[in-house]
DNA sequence: GATGAATGAGTCTTCATTCAT
DNA sequence: TATGAATGAAGACTCATTCAT
């Protein structure tokens, strides 16, 4: 549930940070782009603050265990006032997740469909994914851990064509071009890669030791070495 | 939260059911009549039933989103009656997690400290972990997903000496004996392996296609190939 | 809304009483018929009390304007405790209405299908309806005034085959047998009779002056005189 | 509460719509776009629109169940903006009721104090009342159903000198002049007449069958026949 | 072993209302 | 004439928990 109190077991370290910021104007709401430096916050800023606080609390305690009261307290407003910005609590979860999801998938696709042979792209995809994930660790944590708490309709909306399929296709492409071992099950390999990288949200802590780049390099090394065909290695 | 409705993105498969214990459609609180005229359950049987039902519901909806009412309904008793068996709701979560955790860790240790060189043991550890995880997918899901919802005291109790450390030490041993590449960061590698395997609870579905053994073989192949030193490979 | 504060205009007097009592075990609930004279109220008694209080408050302030807090206060319990007895607030409205409705319709049918010619039965039906209505003025008020606030499903359930149709058919029977004037539109006449009698809940007050019998006699006199055919009058 | 969903029982017809002002399906808060590019409504027009919409919604859902949000949505403005026109929600109810009430009473008085003997005036009063009520069915519904929801002060203000008294006095006059049966209790008779006519708002539907005139004729026939003295009838 | 009845705090959500702009 | 942003109180409903029987 929590980036800062993950289980030590099956992969844990301790005590985290959050650095990403959620953006995006909410669905049906015109936003006045009025003066920016007034002490009184504009609605737009408030909305971003709200998403930020929500993401942080959802990541820390879990969606179900976070009450609107908690969020309102943190924002210094009354819980009823939140309903000026949202229609249901689910809206908050949705906006937080939609944000990282869309950007993340787009980012991922840019790499997997970019230049280079399959192995190169795999390497970059792993490193890029790791970096994105860590740069947006809070929202990512919410996405990865609380996805199933979304209302069914929204869960479905976001389910289309995601990371796994892209990665699987990339690996298959590598097999076709001979750069990746043919005996590998592309689906399994894709799931292994994504499992290893996604799991980061369970143990990542502020760069006590390894930062995003170091992690990305290590992970891509392992997987590339694990998947590459002997011929291409040479 | 849910073994059967994981996000498609960062590593999902699709729609099916968990396989370890008879799973239930979660629509509309129906009371299981299955255990109505049984000769009269002993207290011990009732307790196991309670843990079973709890595990299933925690895996399906998440701990925070599962009420004692839900559980009692499923058992065909009143929620107040649950307090004959437990002192607080947290007891249920604790018992479910403690079960898989202890057995799982013991299992893991048996392999990592068993016979063979480090690479052999790594291979067996991955395959064994995958199999255990899938054989106990419901409880494992609860363990992996709801660990942070445990009361602080119990979280701590279970946190000691886990999988990561054992695996890291195994890899280091391999580096010491020369069977594993020295440029690998053992901690990172351990986290990659556990991430890939643990993540299984997010996408595993009834053996439509790949069963535990196939998955174990593929995963261990990838990681062994990725970590082994050229010398030992030859 | 209210038997005790009806508008003076289109027909009002002032300040009322309540004398009916709601009964009926609620839908899905077994009721222990345990000891009756314990100082501690049994659940059955509590349920009746709850319906009674609800009826009174719905009649006084209106359904929508009555909060569960009001009801709980009157009963000396916490509002959350009411949910031991009901599933939603609508249950209370439904039970109150269902009670008077079923009994009332049955009562009415007994008379309209009883012995005597149509005019006799009309006379008795009016008097019986007036009496029943006044004897159950509180629940009747709720029924007549708050019916539309019922959830759609339940509104429908109770809508079948009601008073109007029975009365219309009785009048038609009278026309067929020649005791009621043929130029009368039976539907209109039925609606006139029911309007006049139902409206009583808007102005009836404790027998300051006219009691149920007197009112029944006056009303039946007017309508019988208004509908009877000259031949039968003679 | 509702002219279009009255209980079938104690006097109902069935399913249709009210007819005085264009009624609206109540599903899902849609904002009427009908008044979007009009040349710019004057404040007076807006005020009338507001009263119209309020009346319609109060008639449809009941006063207490209608929120200012609903009304604002329908008008295409924000709920806070309503406070330019009103001071409290009660103002809306008051204005709607005051309108029909004053005009209706004046209308009624014009007839009961007009030319003709008591029986003639009674006949015209019934027909006139029925017509007025149906011509203004929405506001009348609000008046008849929601009167008690008015704030105490305003309830009192409107309570003085109403229909019942005028009608009772007319009947007494008829008894005095010998055209109405002496054994009739004038108060009861007045209440019967007003009950029958007022109740119309509970069952009236768009002139599927009977229109205002037909209803008026039938009702006045019944009551005149029921009250007239044998001597005057001859 | 379990029920029946309740508690008290908390859940999400809606309300009428305010007021600076 | 309105909007945008909030308030504060109350709404219905749910929760984990208790305890006498």
Q: What CATH number is attached to the domain comprising B219?
A: 1.10.357.10
Q: Which residues in chain A are contacts of B184 at CB distance < 8 A? A: 218, 221-222
What's the burial of C46, exposed, middle or buried (CB within 10 Å: 0-12/13-18/19+)? middle
Lowest average pLDDT, out of B7-21, C40-54, C215-229, D57-71, goes to B7-21
Cβ <8 Å between B62 and A149: yes
Q: In this structure, are residues D9 and C162 in contact, taking their beta carbons and an 8 Å threshold? A: yes
Assigned domain for A192 exists:
yes
C119 in D contact zone (CB under 8 Å)? no
Q: Measured between CB atoms, which of D162, D183, D198 is closest to C8?
A: D162
Is C61 within the bounds of a domain? no
H runs (alpha helix) in B35-88: 43-61, 68-75
How far, in Å, CA of D16 to CA of D203, rounded? 10
- Rounded to 5°, angle at Cα B89 from B87 and B92: 90
pLDDT digits (tens, 9 = 90+) for D138-154: 999 999 999 999 999 99
pLDDT computed for residue C210 by the predictor? 85
Helix axis angle, A212-227 to A186-198, nearest 10°: 160
D78 beta carbon to strand F: under 7 Å:
yes
Domain limits at D193? 90-233
A-B interface: how many C-beta pairs under 8 angstroms? 215
Q: How far is C7 from chain D (nearest CA, A)?
A: 6
Residues 137-166 of C with CB under 8 A from D: 143-149, 155, 158-164
Q: What is the pLDDT of residue A17?
A: 28
Q: pLDDT (tens digit, 9 = 90+) per residue, D95-106? A: 999 999 999 999
- Give the nucleotide at minimum CA-to-C1' distance from B92: F16
The residues that bridge with B228 in the sheet, in sequence order, are B180
Minimal CA–CA distance to C87: which of C32, C30, C27, C143?
Answer: C27
Is residue D57 domain-shared with residue D101, that is, in the same domain?
no
List, for residues C46-100, the tens digit of each pLDDT value.
999 999 999 999 999 999 999 999 999 999 999 999 999 999 999 999 999 999 9
Calculate the angstrom distance between C1' of F17 and CA of B89. Answer: 10
Q: Is D179 helix (H, G, I), strand (E, B) or coil?
A: coil
Task: Report the alpha-carbon distance of residue B188 to residue D2 in Å, rounded.
Answer: 69
Q: What is the pLDDT of residue A32?
A: 35
Residues 51-90 of chain C with CB under 8 A from chain D are 62, 64-65
Q: Is the pLDDT of residue C28 over 70?
A: no
3 state DSSP class of C40: coil
Which residue lies nearest F11, CA-to-C1' measured?
A: C67
Strand F closer than 7 A to residue A87 Cβ: no
* Tokens describing residue D56: 């319609």
The pLDDT of residue C162 is: 85
Is residue A219 a contact partner of residue B192, using CB atoms and an 8 Å limit? yes
- State whether A143 and B219 contact (CB < 8 Å): no
- In tens, the pLDDT along D23-38 reads 222 233 333 333 434 4
- C17 domain-assigned: no
Given D33, D68, D86, the domain boundary residue is: D86
- Give yes or no for A184 touching B (CB within 8 A): yes
The strand F neighbours among C residues 53-92, by Cβ under 7 Å, are 66-70, 79-80, 83, 87-90
Same domain, D229 and D135: yes
* Region D173-193 average pLDDT: 97
Cβ–Cβ under 8 Å, residues C9 and D159:
yes
For an interface test with B, which of A1, A4, A6, A7 has the most B Cβ atoms less than 10 Å from its Cβ? A7
A43: closest CA of chain B, how far (Å):
32
- How high is the mean pLDDT of chain B? 84
Hey, is the C-beta of C38 within 8 angstroms of any chain D C-beta?
no
pLDDT band, very low/low/confident/very high, at A162 (cuts 50, 70, 90): confident
Residue holding tokens 């606080």?
A53
Same domain for D109 and D66? no
* Residue B117: predicted pLDDT: 94
The pLDDT of residue B160: 60
Judge whether B8 lies within some domain. Answer: no
Query: Comparing C-alpha atoms, which of B227, B221, B229 is closest to residue A221?
Result: B227
Average pLDDT score over residue span D35-44: 59
Q: C24 falls in which pLDDT band (50, 70, 90)?
A: very low
- Chain B contact probe: residue of A6, A191, A215 with most B CBs at under 10 A: A191
Is position D9 within any domain? no
Domain count, chain B: 1
Interface probe for D, chosen from C11, C16, C107, C155 (most Cβ of D below 10 Å), is C11
Does residue D32 lie in a domain region? Answer: no
Whether the predicted pLDDT of A23 surpasses 70: no
Q: Do the chains contact at C11 and D200, CB–CB below 8 Å?
A: no
Whether the CB of A222 is below 8 Å from some CB of chain B: the reply is: yes
- CA-CA distance, C70 to A100, in Å (whole number)? 46
Residues of D within 8 A of C148 (CB-CB) are 1-2, 5-7, 62
The confidence score (pLDDT) of residue C98 equals 96
Residues C137 and D40: their CA atoms lie apart, in Å, by 51
D126-129's contacts with Cβ under 8 Å and 24+ in sequence apart are: D126/D193, D126/D197, D126/D216, D126/D219, D126/D220, D126/D223, D126/D224, D127/D213, D127/D216, D127/D217, D127/D219, D127/D220, D128/D216, D129/D104, D129/D163, D129/D197
* A112 assigned to some structural domain: yes
Residues D60 and D130 in one domain: no
Whether residue D161 is found in the same domain as residue D219: yes
Q: How far apart are the first and last CA of chain D?
A: 43
Residue C180 domain flag = yes
> Mean pLDDT for each 10-residue chunk of chain B (234 residues)?
34 35 30 44 87 97 97 96 97 96 94 94 98 97 97 86 90 97 97 97 81 96 97 86
Q: What is the 3-state secondary structure (H, E, C) of chain A?
A: CCCCCCCCCCCCCCCCCCCCCCCCCCCCCCCCCCCCCCCCCCHHHHHHHHHHHHHHHHHHHCCCCCCHHHHHHHHCCCHHHHHHCCCCHHHHHHHHHHHHHHHHHHHHHHHHCCCCCHHHHHHHHHHHHHHHHHHCHHHHHHHHHHHHHCCHHHHHHHHCCCHHHHHHHHHHHHHHHCCECCCCCHHHHHHHHHHHHHCHHHHCCCCCCCCHHHHHHHHHHHHHHHHECHHHHC
């Amino acid at each position: 549930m929590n980036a800062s109190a993950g289980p030590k077991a099956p992969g844990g370290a301790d005590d985290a940070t959050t650095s990403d910021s959620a953006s995006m104007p909410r669905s049906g709401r015109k936003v006045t782009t009025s003066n920016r430096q007034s002490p009184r916050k504009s609605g737009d800023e408030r909305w971003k603050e709200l998403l930020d606080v929500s993401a942080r609390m959802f990541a820390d305690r879990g969606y179900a265990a976070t009450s609107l009261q908690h969020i309102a307290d943190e924002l210094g407003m009354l819980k009823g006032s939140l309903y000026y910005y949202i229609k249901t609590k689910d809206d908050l979860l949705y906006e937080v997740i939609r944000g990282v999801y869309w950007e993340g998938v787009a980012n991922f696709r840019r790499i997997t469909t970019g230049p280079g042979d399959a192995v190169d792209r795999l390497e970059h995809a792993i490193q890029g994914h790791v970096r994105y994930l860590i740069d947006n660790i809070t929202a990512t944590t919410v996405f990865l851990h609380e996805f199933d708490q979304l209302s069914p309709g929204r869960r479905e909306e976001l389910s289309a064509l995601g990371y796994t399929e892209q990665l699987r296709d990339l690996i298959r492409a590598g097999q076709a071009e001979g750069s990746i071992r043919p005996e590998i099950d592309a689906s399994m390999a894709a799931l292994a890669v994504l499992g290893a990288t996604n799991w980061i949200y369970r143990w990542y802590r502020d760069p006590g030791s390894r930062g995003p780049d170091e992690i990305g390099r290590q992970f891509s090394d392992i997987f590339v070495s694990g998947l590459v065909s002997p011929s291409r290695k040479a």
